[in-house]
């Protein structure tokens, strides 16, 4: 589904939904306690990269950098699998395109299988911060500075999966920096190490080329505002599976506006193969500050 507009502001709809947020909190706490009874202890160290919000915050490029640094396999759900993404999900397909060893499906089962391999390399777990059924050696939360924690409410009144005091369970927070005009005041506990990442969206087109931009990600406006000369913006639901009718419409818009079609890499891997040469994607480059990796090595006791 598309990210609800009320997730970013304390409007009437968010206030009406607040009672449901209380119910969500009770249920999620009960599920958390139930899953925490017998957590899986992995022989290989587990690095969990998660977040507090529902929806994309730029976590996948962070996962990629950590996995590349450690030469580690990645376990993830592989959300919204389809034939267009090789049956593994768009984020998994993106990571595998960079040569990473990605395992989708049950993270619990995949960790058990990876523990049977003759390797001591750590395992990077994409998401799962709210799931205590797997014991983590290092837990990292990713936060986007441009919208922080949204309107501050829990699901469904807001984007938060749990209360902010849950950050105390994390070993570190990585904040993706925003433009000065978009910065949000983030209240991270003083005892939690904070590291920063810089992101850049690299378009394959020159700035004077007219662009029809489309995206099916958690927060598409974050993508749109980084592009130049956009004459038309189209938002789809997160992990949206594009149909032939959608492609026909998009191509028609490009013709109408005398523009080029441009999307995210996450969307591009969900497009039919026969249009991937015609529709290009803007590459998202993420750079985590070097001292994070020094901290990570120390946290893993040098067993890298």
- What confidence tens digit (pLDDT) does each residue in 121-170 have? 999 999 999 999 999 999 999 999 988 899 999 999 999 999 999 999 99
pLDDT at 212 over 60: yes
Average pLDDT over residues 95-102: 94
Task: Name the β-bridge partners of 123.
Answer: 46
Identify whether the C-beta of residue 34 lies closer than 8 Å to the C-beta of residue 190. no
Domains and CATH numbers, the chain: 5-200+287-299 (3.40.50.300), 203-284 (3.40.50)
Using CA atoms, how far residue 177 sits from 83, 159, 181, in Å, is 35, 19, 11
Between residues 84 and 35, the one the model is more confident about:
35
pLDDT at 82 over 70: no
What integer pLDDT is reported at residue 97 of this predicted model? 92
Average pLDDT over residues 239-259: 96
Which structure tokens are listed for 93?
């397909």
- What percent of the chain is predicted at pLDDT more than 90? 81
pLDDT at 81 over 80: no
φ, ψ of residue 73 to 5 degrees: the values are: -75, 160
Average pLDDT, the chain: 92
Using CA atoms, how far residue 172 sits from 50, 137, 245, 295, in Å, is 11, 12, 44, 9
Residue 86's pLDDT band, with cuts at 50, 70 and 90, is low
Which residue bears the tokens 């580690």? 72
What integer pLDDT is reported at residue 304 of this predicted model? 43
Average pLDDT over residues 105-117: 96
Identify whether the C-beta of residue 173 lies closer than 8 Å to the C-beta of residue 193. yes
Can you list the positions of beta strands (E) in 24-114?
46-50, 74-76, 102-104
Q: Which long-range contacts (CB under 8 A, 24 or more apart) does 93-97 make?
A: 93/269, 94/60, 94/64, 94/265, 94/266, 94/269, 95/60, 95/63, 95/64, 95/67, 97/269
On the 0-12 / 13-18 / 19+ scale of CB atoms within 10 A, 14 is buried
Which structure tokens are listed for 236?
């789809």
- What percent of the chain is predicted at pLDDT more than 70? 93
What integer pLDDT is reported at residue 180 of this predicted model? 62
Which structure tokens are listed for 18?
């607040």
């Amino acid at each position: 589904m598309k990210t609800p507009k009320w997730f970013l502001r304390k409007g009437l709809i968010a206030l009406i939904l607040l009672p449901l947020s209380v119910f969500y909190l009770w249920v999620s706490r009960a599920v958390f306690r139930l899953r925490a009874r017998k957590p899986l202890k992995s022989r290989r160290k587990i690095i969990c990269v998660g977040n507090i919000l529902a929806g994309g915050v730029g976590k996948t490029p962070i996962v990629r950098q950590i996995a590349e640094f450690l030469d580690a396999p990645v376990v993830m759900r592989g959300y919204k699998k389809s034939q267009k993404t090789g049956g593994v999900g768009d984020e998994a397909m993106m990571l595998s395109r960079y040569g990473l060893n990605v395992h989708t499906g049950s993270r619990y089962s995949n960790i058990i299988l990876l523990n049977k391999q003759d390797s001591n390399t750590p395992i990077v777990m994409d998401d799962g911060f709210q799931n205590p059924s797997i014991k983590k050696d290092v837990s990292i939360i990713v936060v986007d500075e441009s919208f922080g924690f949204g309107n501050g409410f829990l699901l469904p009144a807001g984007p938060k999966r749990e209360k902010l005091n849950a950050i105390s369970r994390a070993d570190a927070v990585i904040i993706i920096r925003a433009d000065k005009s978009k910065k949000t005041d983030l209240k991270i506990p003083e005892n939690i190490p904070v590291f920063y990442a810089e992101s850049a969206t690299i378009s394959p087109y020159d700035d004077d080329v007219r662009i029809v931009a489309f995206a099916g990600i958690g927060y598409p406006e974050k993508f749109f505002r980084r592009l130049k000369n956009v004459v038309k913006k189209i938002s789809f639901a997160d992990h949206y599976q594009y149909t032939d009718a959608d492609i026909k419409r998009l191509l028609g818009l490009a013709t109408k506006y005398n523009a080029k079609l441009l999307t995210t890499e996450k969307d591009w891997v969900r497009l039919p193969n026969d249009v991937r040469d015609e529709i290009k994607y803007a590459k998202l480059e993420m750079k985590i500050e070097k001292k994070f990796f020094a901290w990570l090595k120390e946290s893993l006791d040098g067993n890298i």
